A = this chain, B = another copy of it.
Amino acid sequence: MKNRLKVLRAERDWSQAELAGRLDVSRQAVNAIETGKHDPSLPLAFRIARLFGLRIEDIFIDDGDTP
């Protein structure tokens, strides 16, 4: 599962800490998602999509590596 978080964050010139604050999660959680260490929960994915005004499918790319 890839994602465009880093780009969307850069477009707004936000730090990982600032994004974390807006999403109400820890900075480490944002970092782990950006660096592909784990996928967000569905509720967090909804918060992310709402924050950026996009659909979940426009931010997260299911690479289907879950056979």
Q: How many copies of this chain?
A: 2
Closest chain B residue to A40, Cβ basis = B42
Give A contacts to B, CB under 8 Å.
1, 24, 39-43, 45-47, 49-50, 55-57, 60, 62, 66-67
Q: Which of B43, B49, B62 contacts A66 (CB 8 A)?
A: B43
Instruction: Determine how close the nearest CB of chain B comes to the CB of A37; give it in whole angstroms.
Output: 14
Q: A55-B57, A56-B57, A57-B55 known; A62 and B41 CB under 8 Å? A: no
Instruction: Sample 23 A-B pairs with CB under 8 A, ordered by A number.
Output: A1-B42, A24-B67, A39-B42, A40-B42, A41-B41, A41-B42, A42-B42, A42-B45, A42-B56, A42-B60, A43-B62, A45-B45, A45-B56, A46-B57, A46-B62, A47-B62, A47-B66, A49-B57, A55-B55, A55-B56, A55-B57, A56-B56, A56-B57
